[in-house]
């Protein structure tokens, strides 16, 4: 799988959450995002698998508090 820049990855999350491109910067709290719900979690897991070939262990997303925490789950597949 191809690595992506952080900005590109954030745009993928924007699209997943049906936000305008460039909306997310990384510091946003997931609790403050009305569109972050159980369907968004499933979509994010699918996004990681489809775009980066990453399969998350169960429970990893539950520990995420911010969008930056989600980006961190991509590890070295997302470059600054």
Domain spans of the chain, in order of start:
4-75
Taking alpha carbons only, the member of 36, 45, 42 closest to residue 18 is 36
Q: Most distant CA pair in the chain: distance in Å?
A: 31
- Full-model pTM: 0.92
* Rounded Cα gap, residues 80 and 73, in angstroms: 13
Q: Would you place residue 80 in the very low, low, confident or very high pLDDT band (cuts 50, 70, 90)?
A: confident
CB atoms inside a 10 Å sphere around CB 66: 16
Tell me the pLDDT tens digit for each residue of 14-61.
999 999 999 999 999 999 999 999 999 999 999 999 999 999 987 899
* Rounded Cα gap, residues 27 and 54, in angstroms: 22
Q: Class of the 4-75 domain?
A: mainly alpha
CB atoms inside a 10 Å sphere around CB 13: 22
């Amino acid at each position: 799988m191809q690595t992506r820049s952080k900005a590109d990855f954030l745009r993928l999350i924007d699209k997943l959450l049906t936000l305008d491109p460039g909306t997310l910067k990384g510091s946003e709290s997931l609790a403050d995002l009305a569109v972050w719900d159980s369907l968004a979690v499933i979509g994010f897991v699918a996004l990681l698998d489809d775009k980066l070939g990453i399969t998350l262990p169960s429970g990893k997303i539950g520990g995420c508090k911010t969008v930056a925490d989600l980006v961190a789950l991509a590890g070295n597949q997302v470059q600054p």
